[in-house]
Amino acid sequence: MDGHELLGDPLRNRGTAFTTAQRGELGLDGLLPPVVETLEEQADRAYRAFLGYAKPINRHIYLRQLQDTNETLFYRLVTDHLDEMLPVVYTPTVGEACTRFSDIYRRPRGLFVSYPERGRLREVLRNRPHREVDVIVVTDGQRILGLGDQGVGGMGIPIGKLGLYTAVGGIHPARTLPVLLDVGTDNEELLAHPRYLGWRHHRVTGADYDGFIDAFVDAVRAELPDALLQWEDFATPHARPILARYRDRLRTFNDDIQGTAAVVLGALTSAVTMTGGRLRDQRVVLAGAGSAAIGVADMIRTAMVADGLTDEEAARNFWIADVAGLLVGSRTDLSPEQRRYARDGEARPLAEVVRDATPTVLIGLSTVRGLFTEQIVRDMAAGTDRPVIFPLSNPTSHSEADPADLAAWTDGRVLVATGSPYPPLEVNGRSVPVAQSNNVYVFPAMGLAVTAAKATRVTDGMLVAAATALGEAAGATDAPVAPLLPPIADMRAVAAEVAVVAAMAAVEDGVAPEATEAGLREAVRKTQWEPAYPD
């Protein structure tokens, strides 16, 4: 490629870091300012530019533009400032980016696979920008965070997720592929929006939708048989059936169901250690009964069984409530997965459930802002010394409670993890970081584990092993006040360790070739890409 083309390729462009000799050899003389910078100097200049934007959405747009210009510089900047930039690259700011996708769209990234193209999906996949792909993240945009149907705007989620696969997990950016399945939208505001960039059609449903998903999976298996396929932000009626239909056919998992559950289990393991109790003895109330909530219940239940309970005994440790109240056996609207946790009696509201069940753990995946009221929290705190409360709904505008309120209502006794970032709590004169139960603790590690170990499937054993490793990485302690998850700044190192443990579980489960721990550790190290210009 000539100099102009080289500067337009974000994977090869070094901008002002091209040396004088390289500029002469590559036809770049005159196309760049004369000063030659190091990557470190470029990153410092980019960071100052980042700080020049006051609004998070403007910072998000700046980072996306940098990613489309110079990926090495983008990832160096993000990894150097991960704690500060994670909320901008991903939740909560990515939610606003999705709602404004058609207005802030700048440059193509990933693949938009539309329903009208259903007869030539292999051809569409062949148009991907890079031949070799390790990880695909796909969404149909129907349930974006707690914001609902965003149609084509849902592409912001795969782009953001894969950015973290690289920044945290070390998957090479050229080996990732964001995909948006455009099957229409039922968001009337988007359909009426004069600049909406998606297919202007109500959502395809029923057998037509299922057939389109089947055709997409068949195309992936034919074109990219070795890639890990992650499903993201699919609506509850689709999420679990899709996972069940394909999990034994290819390398695949659903981050909302399985990734969320693994991170919650990791945080809960740390919390239980701090209380001095055992997981098997916890009484868990879940607010929300969607695919993510049931996935959390399933994984905690599995861990309780590993701690000595029968499956039936473990299931009786859960009380799950949705907008219609407690899941009970007399309800006719429950899925088989929900019915596993159905209780006897009437469908009581959450406040009554908390008062009657005297839970030790309260988890929110409801997307209802302020659902955990002062009365509910005080009732819970009256029945346990160290209430464990996880308001996990994203973005912040949909969180069930503010951690500062939880601390006030429990006299500082709460053990808390949230879905979105919050400032530290002041507890007994100490500043304690609020653990963000962010899936980024797990999904980049799973991609790294599958790639390094050459796993052919993602098993429950791999996910439980990842959750256990995450809990241990938090530096499990019996200290009365401590964060429940490792610092975000340590995520890259944590991801590598979690990946090794998950890879070992893949070998144990028979879905990866035989390998030693030392061999897997070396494979993980070699798989991780570092944001640096090659010599």
For the chain, the domains span 3-82, 93-250, 258-437, 441-527
3-state secondary structure 348-407: CCHHHHHHHHCCCEEEECCCCCCCCCHHHHHHHHCCCCCCEEEECCCCHHHCCCCHHHHH
Catalytic option among 47, 55, 75, 90: 90
Query: Quick check: 79 and 531 in contact, CB under 8 A?
Result: yes
Q: 165 catalytic, yes or no?
A: no
pLDDT at residue 248, as a whole number: 94
Cβ atoms within 10 A of the Cβ of 419, count? 29
Question: What's the gap between Cα 387 and its chain centre?
Answer: 26
pLDDT at residue 481, as a whole number: 62
Residue 194's SS3 state is: coil
pLDDT at residue 146, as a whole number: 79
CA angle at residue 132 from 518 to 470, to 5 degrees?
Answer: 40
pLDDT at residue 479, as a whole number: 54
Residue 201's SS3 state is: coil
Query: Quick check: 135 and 83 in contact, CB under 8 A?
Result: no
pTM of the predicted structure, to 2 decimals: 0.91
Cβ atoms within 10 A of the Cβ of 120, count? 12
Q: 454 catalytic, yes or no?
A: no
pLDDT at residue 163, as a whole number: 97
HSE, CB side, 13 Å, CA atoms: give it for residue 279: 23
- The torsion region of residue 412 among left (phi > 0), alpha (psi -120 to 50) and beta comes to left
Give pLDDT < 50 ranges for the chain: 476-478
Superfamily of domain 93-250: Malic enzyme, N-terminal domain (3.40.50.10380)
Catalytic option among 47, 55, 105, 161: 161
pLDDT at residue 475, as a whole number: 67
Domain made up of 3-82: CATH architecture = Up-down Bundle (1.20)
Same fold, 3-82 and 93-250: no
From 2.40.30.110, 3.40.50.720, 2.40.30.10, 3.30.70.2190, which CATH number describes the 258-437 domain? 3.40.50.720
